[in-house]
Structure 1
């Protein structure tokens, strides 16, 4: 096997819980392969770099192995290597979230539309 569909690989690497969610993320432009937005049918090869945005954060990974079936977590972790910059950025976001919660700045309940817009601007999405 020299290539696999990106939606199948994302499922096998456990970035998404179902192939439908992986396909939907591709449609929304949350998956980039080698700096380009990718469709669900794009083939992934060993050595490709992927940027994956999901509820767990933004991951920048290098593909080390190919699989089209979902296996154990140990097998999934052997399929990719996360970059050091990606790990540092995710740790920083987590530390900020914990600090906000510790200071009591965490919002109570669901954020309003205005609150969500402000969060998006802070996170660089808006």
Structure 2
């Protein structure tokens, strides 16, 4: 079975054309190498799929004859994705939402000044100022 058809059958992609596009962009790998959509998939293959900023690692258990339901998809694949990949996604989600709402546009002048003040904190300036004075005394 083709790799794009397999990923569509086990519901990693909503359409087969999305699975084909992912293969074309190099987001699907078998054995560490990028694969074409037409590459054959066999049982015990390990597929790495990059989707939504997460690298899913899938072990093929069996090949379905056609597209299967979400509850049955676990019979054909074993998801061996490390938990750290999902934890990174959670952190990324929290880091984006705390400051500005999505779609609120570019930072204002005040926002930019606040960012600059934060980057150039007084603690950093004190460390820089004290170093040359100590060198002058010696």
- TM > 0.5: yes
TM bin, normalised by shorter chain, reads 0.7 to 0.9
Could you say which structure has the larger radius of gyration?
2
The answer to whether the aligner puts 1:90 opposite 2:85 as a matched pair is yes
Q: How many residues align?
A: 106
Normalised TM-score (structure 2): 0.67
RMSD: 2.3
CA contact (8 A) 1:100 1:106 kept: no
Partner of residue 45, structure 2: 48
CA distance in 2: counterparts of 1:111 and 1:82, whole angstroms: 38
Aligned positions of 1:15-26 closer than 5 A: 15-26=12-23
The answer to whether the aligner puts 1:105 opposite 2:99 as a matched pair is yes
Q: Once the two structures are superposed, what CA deviation does each residue of 1:63-111 show, in whole Å capped at 9, x if it has no partner?
A: 111125211112212211122xx23123212330353267x13553278
Structure 1, unaligned stretches of length 5 or more?
113-126
Change (3 A) 1:68 1:89: farther
Greater strand share, 1 or 2? 1
